[in-house]
A and B are shown apart, each in its own frame.
Chain A
C-alpha cells in the first residue's frame, strides 16, 4: 500500500474547477478524481473549451479549486508554498513570448530559478542539471544559439529542456504542440514519452490531437463536457468503446479498426470491393472518404482490383456497365461525378 502511494505524485479528490467572479462560481469540470503516477506520459484529451487548461491551471496552483482537494506527494496543494511548488511542478505552455537576445543555454538555465540565490548564480550542480536537460532533449548542439533564431518546434524543445532543468517530479504541458506541424508534434510527443520513461517523471500533456495521443500516451484522461473525466490505457478505452462514446459527433465516428475518426455521410452507398493488401486498404480509404460503405459481400456496385498485370487496374461494374481505371484518383473522380443508384 505504502509502496503504491509513493508512485503517485498527484491525486485529486472530488475536485471541481472553474472560475470565480465575485461571489458567483462558474464550474467547468467537476467530480474529478485522478491519480498521476511517476514514469508515465498521460495525455489529457478533450475538445477546445472543455476545460483542459482550467484543470491544468488548478493542478499547477495558478487558480484555486472551486471545491475538492489536490494532493501533491500526499500534501494538500494549498499547504505548499509557491517556491516549494516550483520544485514539484514545471510547466510548458503553448507559446512563449520571444525573450530577445538570450542563448538557449541561458534560457534553459532559468529552470534552475527555484534553486539559485538572489543573484541567480549557478553552481556546478546547476550546470550539470542544465547539461543533462540539454542532452536529454537533444539540443546540446544549439546551446549557444540565440533563441530568437529558433523555429517554433525548436523553441518548444528548449522550453521542455527548461522544465527538465527545474528538476520537478511532475511536468505539465498545456497544448505544447498546438502550433506545430505533424512531424514536430510527433517528435515532441515521443521525446516526452522517452523523458517520462527515462527520468521517471510524471508528464501530463493536454492536447486535442487524438491520433498522436493514442500512439504515445501511457494513459489517457478524457475530458468531456458535463461528465466526469474517464481515464485508462488508450487501448482499453478503445476496446471498451469509451472513445467512440465520448467523442460521438454527428459528422464523425470513431473507427475501432483504424483508430481514427471517419466522416459520417447521410446517404451511404454500398460497394463490394475485391482486391488485396495495400491496394485494398487504400482503395477502401478513398471510397470511404467520399461516402461509400465498403463491404465484403455482393452488392450491385462491384469494384475489382485486377492484379494480373502491372500497373494494376480498377474495374468497376454496375448493372450492365463496366468501367476501367488506371488509378484511385480516376476512380474517385468518376464516382463523384456519376450518381449510380441502386
Chain B
C-alpha cells in the first residue's frame, strides 16, 4: 500500500518538477525560434543571451516581436487555465470555464461599443482608423470591470453558487444581444474591425503594454495559489467546507475576483480566446490522475502555458507568412480535447474536479 502511494506521488512529482518545466522551456524556445524570418537557433540563443547578432534586425525581431508574443502566450495560457480550474471547482461543474461569469462578454461589449458605436456617437469617439491598441484595451477593461462589479455585488447577495452561474450565463446572452444590435447599425469596416478583435491575438502586445499586463496576470496567479487549500475543501461541497472553517462567502468572492482579474485582463489585451480554460484543467487532472489542488494548481498553470505555446506555434504556420487567428486554433484544438474527455470517461462527473 505504501509502495502504491509513493508511486502515485512520485509520478506527480516527476511531472511537476521535470516533464512540465522541460516541455515549457523547450516550447518557449521553439516558439521564439519559429517565424517568417529564418534565424538560426544558435544565433537566436546568442541574441537572447548577449543581445548581439550578425544582423541588427534579428535582434529587433527577437526582442520586439517574438519575445513579447511568446511572453503573452505564457501569460494567457497560465491565466486562462487557472481561471478555468477555479470556476470548475467553485461551481462543481466540468463545463465551467473562465468566461461563465460573463466577464468576456463584458469586454466584448466594451470593445464593440468603441469600435462600432462611433457611428451612433459620432464625434464623441475617434474615427475607426485612429482607434489605437490602448483604446481597445481600455474599452475591454471597462466592459469587463463593469460586469465584474455587477457579479461581485450579486455574489454578495445570493447564497447559491449555482444562481451565480446562471446569472453569469444570462449576462453573456444579454451582452451578446447588445453587440448584435450594435453590429446591425454598423458599417462593414467597423464590423470587420470588431470581428478581427474576436479572432484573438497574442502578437499585438508591445513591451509598453506588457509592463501593465505582466503584473496583473502574475498577481492573479498568486491569488489562485493562495486559494488552493479552500479549493480542496470546496470539492466536497460548500456545507462541508463551511463546517471545516472555510469562510465560503469570502473564498467565493476571492475566486470570482481572481478569475475576473485574469479572464478580464486577458480578454481586454488579447481578445477572446476559447477552450483553453475548459480543456486544460481536465488534461491536468487526467495526466496527474488527481483532483487535489495542491498539485493541480501548479500543473494546470504549467500545462496551460505548454498548450498555449503549442497552439501559438501551430497558428503561425511554421515556414509561412500567415498567422492564423489564435481563437480558431485553440477551439480547433480544445473542442476535440473536450469531446475526447467526455467520450473517454464513463462518468464525467467522477473524472471531473
- Could you tell me which A residues sit within 8 Å of B by CB distance? 60, 62, 82-83, 85-87, 89-91, 93, 96-103, 105-107, 110-111, 113-114, 116, 118-120, 141, 143-144, 148, 159, 162, 166
The total of Cβ contacts below 8 Å across the A-B interface reads 96
* B positions within 8 Å CB-CB of A: 1, 4-5, 8, 92, 226, 228-229, 232-233, 235-237, 239-240, 242-247, 285, 289-292, 294, 347, 349-353
| Residue contact B290 to A101, C-beta cutoff 8 Å | yes
- Identify which of A62, A91, A118 contacts B226 (C-beta below 8 A): A118
The residues of A that contact B247 with a CB separation of less than 8 Å are 82
- Indicate which residue in B240, B243, B285, B294 contacts A101 across the interface (CB closer than 8 Å): B285
* Residues from chain A with Cβ under 8 Å of B4 in the complex: 144
Residues of B contacting A105 with CB < 8 Å?
A: 5
Q: Which residues of B contact A60 (CB under 8 A)?
A: 243
Separation of A98 and B4 alpha carbons in the complex (Å): 23
Provide the residues of chain A in CB contact with B289, threshold 8 Å: 101
Contact A93 B240 (CB under 8 A): yes
Q: Which residue of B lies closest to A84 (CB)?
A: B245
Besides A102-B291, A113-B244, 10 other A-B contacts (C-beta < 8 A)? A83-B245, A98-B349, A100-B352, A101-B350, A103-B8, A110-B244, A113-B245, A114-B245, A141-B1, A144-B5
Pairwise interchain contact A82-B245, C-beta atoms closer than 8 A: yes
The answer to whether B294 touches A119, judged by C-beta atoms less than 8 angstroms apart, is: yes
Which chain B residue lies CB-closest to A117? Answer: B229
Minimal beta-carbon separation of A284 from chain B (angstroms): 46
Q: Once bound together, how far apart are the Cα atoms of A141 and B1, in whole Å? A: 8
Kindly list chain A residues whose C-beta atoms are within 8 Å of the C-beta of B233: 110, 113
List 26 A-B residue pairs with CB atoms under 8 Å apart, sorted by A's residue number: A62-B239, A85-B245, A86-B243, A86-B245, A87-B245, A89-B243, A98-B349, A99-B291, A99-B353, A100-B349, A100-B351, A100-B353, A101-B351, A102-B292, A103-B8, A105-B5, A106-B290, A107-B236, A113-B244, A113-B245, A114-B244, A120-B294, A143-B5, A144-B4, A148-B347, A162-B236
A90 and B237 form a contact (CB under 8 A): no
Q: How far is the CA of A339 from the CA of B285 in the complex (A)?
A: 68
Q: Which residue in chain B gives the minimum CB-CB distance to A122? A: B294
CB pair A102 B290 closer than 8 Å: yes
* Chain B residues with CB under 8 A of A86: 243-245
A contact residues around B240 at 8 Å (CB) = 91, 93, 96, 110
In the docked arrangement, what's the CA distance between A106 and B291, Å? Answer: 10
From B229, B237, B353, give the contact of A119 (CB < 8 A). B229
Q: In the complex, are the beta carbons of B229 and A118 less than 8 A apart? A: yes
Instruction: Return the chain A residue nearest B350 by Cβ.
Output: A148
- Cα–Cα distance between A234 and B229 once the two chains are bound (Å): 42
- Tell me if A116 and B347 are in contact (CB < 8 A): no
> A83's closest neighbor in chain B, by CB?
B245
Nearest-neighbor residue (CB-CB) of B246 within chain A: A113
